[in-house]
Amino acid sequence: MRWTPGGESSDIEDRRDQGGGGGGFQFGGFHIGIGGAIILLILSFVFKVNLFTLLGGGTGAPQTQSSQPNPAQDAAEKPTVQFISFVLDDVQTTWTTLLPAQTGTQYHHAKLVLFRDSTLSGCGNAASATGPFYCPEDEKVYIDLGFFDELSRRFGAPGQFAQAYVLAHELGHHVQKLLGIEGKVHQLQESNSREANPLSVKLELQADCFAGVWAHTTQQRGLLEKGDVESALGAAAAVGDDRLQKMSTGHVSPESFTHGTSAQRTQWFNAGLNGGTVAGCNTFGASQ
């Protein structure tokens, strides 16, 4: 992909040197920030009662959560951060123009949280093992950059545009949130649990299609290089439910699919890439 290395996007929230959810203190099963700990300390002094014990943990001794900065790892990841910054800004600039033009809905930016190992999100704990995800509660995408190594080494999907596809897919979920699609699907899943997985598949495939819509614009602007589309298609196929289940268990269980098969994911990315429209990404009106 043709791009120019530069600085870091203003929409990035970097927590890579913050451990266990961004610092603070752990009391039993509860995590509170430094400000909360100070307030409890003052109130304990005023009332002459150890209020920390109310949070569990017996003695009430606070366990600080910290992470030592890793300058070497930060430096090694700098090129990836710069590329992700470029893609993040480019995808969001694209939707800022495209979404109101095609749907009449205004776009506002999501944030991208970079972390290592684990952090806290508006949707609960974010762990590197879960892979990248979008949280509609705080409108943030969460990524441990180590996932891209896994994407290349374990899943056989190398290349920068494979990384770009992953981010564009997660921002596709943000587009769904703004269009009200995500909320409607969530309500339907709660009212009919038997349809929860099929609805999840359609939601994920539409995010793939939205990633393809962005890729369509990069093609028009001459940003794509030879092999980029194949790289994105390889990434989409690599994270198909059927392929992942085959790798982990040796067999495939279609009834438990939540993201779609490799063939479906590449099909819908291609639909967005070739059509370039939100209307062409109606996975809910198509038979799978």
Q: pLDDT tens-digit profile of 97-113?
A: 999 999 999 999 999 99
Domain membership flag for residue 12: no
Question: Do residues 184 and 271 both lie within one domain?
Answer: yes
219 shares a domain with 143: yes
pLDDT class for 50, splitting at 50, 70, 90?
A: low
2 lies in some domain = no
Count other Cβ atoms within 10 Å, centred on residue 66. Answer: 10
User: Does residue 3 lie within any of the structural domains?
Assistant: no
* Residue 49 confidence class, pLDDT cut points 50, 70, 90: low
The confidence score (pLDDT) of residue 241 equals 78
pLDDT of residue 249: 80
pLDDT at 174: 98
* Predicted pLDDT at 139: 97
Does residue 196 fall inside a structural domain?
Answer: yes
- Position 55 pLDDT exceeds 50: no
Whether residue 170 is found in the same domain as residue 57: no
In terms of domains, do 54 and 119 share one? no
- Give the count of domains, the chain: 2
Say if residue 240's pLDDT is above 50: yes
State residue 24's pLDDT score. 41
The answer to whether residues 236 and 100 belong to one domain is yes
Per the model's pLDDT, the better-predicted residue between 268 and 242 turns out to be: 268
Report if residue 13 sits inside a domain: no
Question: Per-residue confidence at 21, pLDDT binned at 50, 70, 90?
Answer: very low
Q: For 157-216, write each residue's pLDDT tens digit.
A: 656 888 899 999 999 999 999 999 999 999 999 999 999 999 999 999 999 999 999 999
Query: What is the pLDDT at residue 155?
Result: 63
Domain co-membership, 58 together with 159 = no
Q: Give the per-residue pLDDT at 54.
A: 52
pLDDT band at 20 (very low <50, low <70, confident <90, very high): low
What domain range is 138 assigned to? 71-285
Q: Does one domain contain both 44 and 98?
A: no
pLDDT at residue 5, as a whole number: 81
User: Mean pLDDT throughout 133-143?
Assistant: 96
Say if residue 172 is in the same domain as residue 119.
yes
List, in order, residues 6 or more apart from 181 with CB less than 8 Å away. 203, 206
**E-strand stretches of 33-78:** 63-64
| 272 or 229: which leads in pLDDT | 272
Confidence of residue 64 (pLDDT cuts 50, 70, 90): very low
pTM confidence score: 0.79
Place of tokens 């490799």: 262
Q: What is the pLDDT of residue 231?
A: 81
Structure tokens at 147: 């996932």
| Token pair for 213 | 């819509």
Give how far Cα 253 sits from Cα of 70, 242, 246, 258, 260, Å.
41, 8, 9, 11, 11
- Asked if pLDDT for residue 286 goes beyond 50, the answer is yes
Higher pLDDT, 68 or 77: 77
126 & 230 share domain: yes
Does 20 map to a domain?
no
